[in-house]
Structure 1
Amino acid sequence: MRPPIASLVVLLLVVAALTVIGLDGVHTDPVPQAVLNGEQQTAADTALSVRTAIDVEASTVRRTAGAYPATSTSTPATALKALTSARKPVLGSALLDPHTGRLLAAGGKPVPLAGVDVARTASGHGAIRPRLVASGGTRQLLYFARVTLPAQQEDANQDQNQAPSRTERQWLLVLSEALPALTTYGDGRTAEVLDASGTALATTAHGTSPAGADSGLPAAAAGAAKGSGSGTDASGSLLGAATGSRHTVAGWAQVASMTGPGDTDDLGLVVLTTRPVPTTTSAADYSRFALEAAGALAGLALLLGLALHFLVQRPLLRLYLSAGRLARGATEDGPGTLEELYRPVPVHGFGELARIGRALESLRRQLLGESGPEEFPARRGPGYRALAVVGVVVVACWAVPMIFTLNRADTATAVPGPVLADQQARTQLAANRIRQSLDQSYTDLSDVAAGLPGRSRAAQTEVLRHTLTDHKQYRSLYLLDRSGGITLRVGDTPLRTLVHVPDGGGITTVNTSGRIPAIAAYAQVRAVKGKAPAAGVVLFGEIDVKALNSVLPRPKLGSVWVTNDETKVLAASVGYRAFQSLPDSGLTRLARSTQGAAGTAGTATSAVLRSSSGPSVDAAAPLAQSGPTARLGWHVVTAEPAAALQIPAVQAEQRTMLAGILGLTLGAACLGWLHVVVIRPLRSVAVLVERLAGGDRRTVLHPVNHDEVGSVTRSLELMRQALAERDRAARSGHAAGPSRSLRETTLQR
């Protein structure tokens, strides 16, 4: 009986202490931690865009060099022209002899090869990673690729009886390009690409750049990146200098692969983003509330403990002693034990204990022969079950307001403005990342379509197979004729249900229903005069939706959806059904609010919405402002629960709710424990003892628990046996006084 009561008091006091500790730790800094975390993630997203651009360019250079149709008569000059004619960002190009480093052909600006050991660079196995070099006071990226030529017959110095040997030749292609253009969003935000020493290599600003930026942040970011180790995608945040009512916050992230070795690991590049944010002037202090709430709970815990002690524990202990006394008087011999029966049984408490006390008093008189069996009324008042329910209600009076009403974060003011702006900027970065992925798919498909005319059907099939192998984002490639029929296909069965032959090229959807959304890139296959026509007029490449979904997730960005012009989901970072609506009507309205006037892409927007799970920081942005995806009217929508962000008002709401849930759960659990081990057995014993006092001598009373209630049950069983023996003796005509009957019963035992 004591453990559940003691546990109730102790656990509620623990919850009170946790309430003080949890809420006292919530405070408002001049720059909230959520703002610093948002800038860190913005820098990480920007670094991801830079890393992706470099990786895509390096793989494109290697793929172009590997696909070059070199012949035994190819010259370095013609090969270099063919390899670079379609590449706009190239500053300079060169073909080198990989063994000697001799320049074979060059184009554009001179390629800065000082400090590059060509022979050693080309002798390695696998892909050659890009290099960062200096040229004329600027930094450029060098991309490398091997150009393999057909094997040449070597018959000089050969014995006449030996067959001529054939050796394979290679050229080393080197392209110099500027660093990828930075893309940043958020008014006043500046993004820089730094080298390992903290020198800015490229800078871009969105909106009005802040005056007097903290000059020590680049060196601090480079030092922090260096301390995190090379070849990782580590990131962090920094707090710069304060200017008036604004503070400069910075985020840094390494441009390195996050999954094993990559093309950017050796470059030592770091992305630094900075932005001035207003400092928080209104401090929130939850310590007083914490003390008041903890004091109220501690008072309730002590009140419940005292109530259970005086209403349950003490009466039950007295009942336990009275039952033991009557059992000794009924079974043991001696004048002292017989005197136990002459002491009345005090009736304490109410409910089951009072019923048991009255029944014991009736049994005492029956053992003395003063009265016979007594019937007890079937209608009874409230019992100890009602006391347990009242205890739960008392705890709930404290817990329910904590869960539902107190410290509720105001949807309009809980989330700081910079956090909302960061969500919008990161949504725009996500849209830009998705647009780059789709644009690259279209560019790759256009290059393939340009190489199909003039080839045989078998050669075209082989080209499509190689494309499917090299470009993992495609699940199916096929050619359509002018009627929309598929004339050539490689890969999986197409998902298309829309039979159409579009003009031009771009990105589109080829179904409007089904289990999987089908997004496809398409390009026209031009007829070339004097060459055999291709097997179709339009080349389609269905993009694997899993590849698109893998681009969407980012830390602290929440759920990400790509929707079409009707706000139906095409891809998502979470589970979804094809062409379903967004999970919340507020998100749908937010996505539609990004739509601009006819013929325009629209503008990004953000808001704080509240749902049943609490407030969330949401944003929506048009997928693209230009390019093949601009006219689609697609959107990117993100929703991050505010609970996942370190926002003081939301933290206070969370911890207040947690305290209420803990208090209600532990209080109900302890009172339920008391009901199981004490109240429910007492109800059973009350029924049995009333039957025994009413004349039932046949029902054997088996103690179930080894506690106070079990001891009372054992005592009742001894009294039942004594009464049954006396009744048997009375029926046989040998009944004596109560003391003799009890004495004889004792001797027989």
Structure 2
Amino acid sequence: MVAALTVIGLDGVRAAPIPQAVLNGEQQIASDTAQSMRTAIDAEAGTVRRTAGAYSATSTATPATTLKALTSARKAILGSALLDRHTGKLLAAGGKTVPLAGVDAARTASRAVPPRLVTSGGTPQLLYFARVTLPAQQDPDQDQYQAPNQPERQWLLVVSEALPSVTAYGDGRTADVLDAGGTALATAVHGKASPAAADSGLSASATRAAHGSGSDTDASGSLLGATTGSRHTVAGWAQVASATGPGDTDDLGLVVLTSHAVPATTTAADYSRFALAAAGALAGVALLLALALYFSVQRPLLRLYLSAGRLARGATQDRPTASAELSRPVPVHGFGELARIGRALDSLRRQLLGESGPQDFPARRGPGYRALAVLGVVVVGCWAVPMVFLLNRADDVSAVPAAVLADQQARTEIATGRIRQSLDQSYTDLSTAAASLPGRSRAAQTEVLRRTLADHRQYRSLYLLDRSGGITLRVGGTPLRTRVHVPEGGGITTVNTSGRIPAIAGYAQVRAVKGKAKAAGVVLFGEIDVKALNSILPRPKLGSVWVTDGNEKVLAASVGYRAFQSLPDSGLTRLARSTQSAPGTAGTPASAVHLTSSGPSVDAAAPLAQSGPTARLGWHVVTAEPAAALQIPAVQAEQRTMLAGILGLAVGAACLGWLHVVVIRPLRAVAVLVERLAGGDRRTVLHPVNHDEIGSVTRSLELIRQALAERDRAARSGQAARPSRALRENTLQR
């Protein structure tokens, strides 16, 4: 069985020109890029809805003032429009003309509608929708106000924005955003793209594959493109759709396509011949052990079984027949326990004939069948140990293709962008809340903070600090901060340096307004729930992900960790430091293959930000993926070779252990009993335990014991020894 599994496992490992690990890496890069775009669209749609929902309109608000209040602070908006829900009439517009063809205002305003992809002037745009509810107000078509008992009016806000920018990571990689027809809506290139990467057929292939994915909205895959010289184009595609259920991007039909050219592998590796040789060697070991057990255990045991039955018949028959059965000596075959049993049986034969009396056997004896079992395990180990420790060992560094290492670095950069995007959005939301605090009463400010906490689940606590650093107003959980400081400006920082949970917080200044009530504090802090940050770190095939501060202490991770602990490996610490992302420096990503206790690991690190709220912190993002989790031929061959060796040793030890339990241990017990019987012990009853040859030998020994015991009693009473009727009946039943 193990030999067959060895052939099946190793025969399937072949080094293709483009390793499967490279294809999988490109697929994951496309998937990560699609997720970043999906997150940006979802965040923008949520912002538009929250802005419209939080708008506090008065009865005298006009469409123009309402539209200006909703959109004036948003720089990303290209154009905006306000429609009447019932009639669909355009009430107000701003910026560039919003393409409203096909927009059903009544139907759209009645439910939360996801964004819509449109093209205006050859430029792709996204339309975001939100309902604006106002109290009874002046009708825009009349010069009189509505009656107070009229129901609230609902307007439809339509905002047009450009597609979120797509970023290509990794030298020579191209990233495209495709629509449902395969047309490129946006393109990004990192460095200089290889001519082989400009394969026009990849867009159509990716679109067809996405359409064929059916209900799997977050489907992804990989493709092989054109070949130029020794370089092959590897592409990955992924749908920009929700991975957890219905989302804002499901109906857009967007597909992200990434591609870049990689050199083909020139060294071919075929492990089929090795698999056949290893399987043949194991089959030879199995045959050798089978023959050894057959000639040293099975045949001698069968002969001993026949001899014991013959002596039992001789012991229970009348004298003429008994003499014929007992006259032939018991042959001693094999060694160890069977040889001991044979010698003791021959002694019992002579005692039954009256030629000798009880005989003592020496306590010290030679090797038994346990030594044979141990020797069998050693023989199997001679095959298994080289398989586990010596054969098909992959070189720790060269076994990982350079393209796989580059993909890990690119994915780490994408993860860094995703984390930076989340922290930047948290800071933006906090700044918006801080801007709405001046000039309001304390109760109104508290309501603003509560609404912000409810709308933005990433915060665990919001509070205002005064000039001395004291908390003057708080909503949410108890702050984790241990550092009492009042920083200038705004950004992201940590507010504790110890404890079980690292506290990452955004902060923004609360400006003072002349002539209005002062805010309850001068700086608004929002502590970000570390669980929300941890939840965006894991990605398939990326391995473990850590966010560290400037001293390489862990702030967040995709796996279990303790706050402010060091990275689990010194190689990861050196890699993080090599990014040179100290405050005030740009920093550069880095990657390397490190040898760990569990094998080679593909690691990468990148500075968290070069600009924005986190630029001054010097934080890093570090990832580590075991090479064993990647489909690298050399690593796969090593794994399967080791598995075959471990499996062979385990199965061999289990079989020989079963032999020890079923055969060797009962033989040792029978050997002790028969030697005691030959030594004169007539009182110990021999009970057969096993229903096999060993049990039959035990039953024969019990009949011999009964015959010897009757003969001894007859000798003591002066009568001739004659088998009893009960003993003869036992023999006939046997």
Is this a same-fold pair by TM over 0.5?
yes
1:398 aligns with 2:379: no
Q: CA deviation at 1:335?
A: 3.2
1:298-352 CA distance string (max 9 Å, x none): 1111000000111111111111111111111112336334311111111111111
Q: What SS does the corresponding residue of 1:542 show, helix, strand or coil?
A: strand
Q: CA deviation at 1:443?
A: 0.6
Of 64, 73, 76, which aligns to 1:89? Answer: 76
Distance (whole Å) between structure 2 residues aligned to residue 35 and residue 218 of structure 1: 19
1:17 aligns with 2:4: yes
* Partner residue in 1 for 2:510: 525
Q: Which runs of 5+ in 2 are unaligned?
A: 140-146
CA contact (8 A) 1:404 1:657 kept: yes
Of 99, 107, 110, which aligns to 1:120? Answer: 107
Of 157, 168, 174, which aligns to 1:190? Answer: 174
Aligned residue pairs, count: 722
CA contact (8 A) 2:323 2:353 kept: no
* Partner residue in 1 for 2:142: none
* Partner residue in 1 for 2:401: 416
* Partner residue in 2 for 1:672: 657
Amino acid at match of 2:264: T
CA contact (8 A) 1:601 1:633 kept: no
Q: CA deviation at 1:148?
A: 1.4
* Partner residue in 1 for 2:32: 45
* Partner residue in 1 for 2:350: 365
CA contact (8 A) 2:550 2:582 kept: no
CA contact (8 A) 2:706 2:727 kept: no
Deviates more, 1:632-641 or 1:200-209: 632-641
Distance (whole Å) between structure 2 residues aligned to residue 326 and residue 481 of structure 1: 106
Q: What SS does the corresponding residue of 1:304 show, helix, strand or coil?
A: helix
Task: Pick closer, same or farther for the CA change 1:464–1:659 going to 2, 3 Å.
Answer: same
1:206 aligns with 2:190: yes
* Partner residue in 2 for 1:8: none
Q: Counterparts of 1:448-527 in structure 2 under 5 Å?
A: 448-527=433-512
Q: Counterparts of 1:115-514 in structure 2 under 5 Å?
A: 115-122=102-109, 124-125=110-111, 127-152=112-137, 165-211=149-195, 213-229=198-214, 232-333=217-318, 335-514=320-499
Q: CA deviation at 1:239?
A: 0.5
TM-score (norm 1): 0.94
Distance (whole Å) between structure 2 residues aligned to residue 392 and residue 43 of structure 1: 50
Q: CA deviation at 1:630?
A: 1.5
Amino acid at match of 1:511: N
Identity %: 83
Task: Pick closer, same or farther for the CA change 1:492–1:99 going to 2, 3 Å.
Answer: same
Of 699, 706, 712, which aligns to 2:697? Answer: 712
Deviates more, 1:535-544 or 1:304-313: 535-544
CA contact (8 A) 1:152 1:166 kept: no
Distance (whole Å) between structure 1 residues aligned to residue 503 and residue 316 of structure 2: 88
Distance (whole Å) between structure 2 residues aligned to residue 684 and residue 462 of structure 1: 85
CA contact (8 A) 2:315 2:703 kept: yes
Q: What SS does the corresponding residue of 2:722 show, helix, strand or coil?
A: helix
* Partner residue in 1 for 2:631: 646
Q: Kindly indicate whether structure 1 or structure 2 has the higher relative contact order, using CA contacts under 8 Å at least 6 residues apart.
A: 1
1:742 aligns with 2:727: no
Task: Pick closer, same or farther for the CA change 1:630–1:701 going to 2, 3 Å.
Answer: same
CA contact (8 A) 1:31 1:279 kept: yes
1:388-411 CA distance string (max 9 Å, x none): 011001101101111111111111
* Partner residue in 2 for 1:108: 95
Task: Pick closer, same or farther for the CA change 1:129–1:385 going to 2, 3 Å.
Answer: same
1:65-108 CA distance string (max 9 Å, x none): 11122111112222222222221111111122222222222221
Amino acid at match of 1:706: H
CA contact (8 A) 2:549 2:617 kept: yes
Distance (whole Å) between structure 2 residues aligned to residue 721 and residue 348 of structure 1: 26
Distance (whole Å) between structure 2 residues aligned to residue 526 and residue 631 of structure 1: 23
* Partner residue in 2 for 1:698: 683
Q: What SS does the corresponding residue of 2:375 show, helix, strand or coil?
A: helix
Task: Pick closer, same or farther for the CA change 1:164–1:641 going to 2, 3 Å.
Answer: closer
1:165-212 CA distance string (max 9 Å, x none): 222112221111110011221001000000000000000000102225
Q: What SS does the corresponding residue of 1:632 show, helix, strand or coil?
A: coil
Distance (whole Å) between structure 1 residues aligned to residue 229 and residue 216 of structure 2: 39
CA contact (8 A) 1:251 1:273 kept: yes
Q: CA deviation at 1:597?
A: 6.1
Task: Pick closer, same or farther for the CA change 1:472–1:54 going to 2, 3 Å.
Answer: same
1:655-686 CA distance string (max 9 Å, x none): 10111111001000000000000111111111
* Partner residue in 2 for 1:31: 18
Q: CA deviation at 1:746?
A: 3.6
Distance (whole Å) between structure 1 residues aligned to residue 567 and residue 426 of structure 2: 26
1:186-243 CA distance string (max 9 Å, x none): 0010000000000000000001022251111101111111111367011111100101
Distance (whole Å) between structure 2 residues aligned to residue 41 and residue 74 of structure 1: 49
Q: CA RMSD in A?
A: 1.6
Q: Counterparts of 1:586-735 in structure 2 under 5 Å?
A: 586-596=571-581, 599-734=584-719
Q: Which runs of 5+ in 1 are unaligned?
A: 1-13, 155-162
1:697-722 CA distance string (max 9 Å, x none): 11111111111111111111111111
Distance (whole Å) between structure 2 residues aligned to residue 745 and residue 214 of structure 1: 97
* Partner residue in 2 for 1:75: 62
Q: CA deviation at 1:467?
A: 1.0
TM-score (norm 2): 0.96
* Partner residue in 1 for 2:552: 567
Deviates more, 1:427-436 or 1:692-701: 692-701
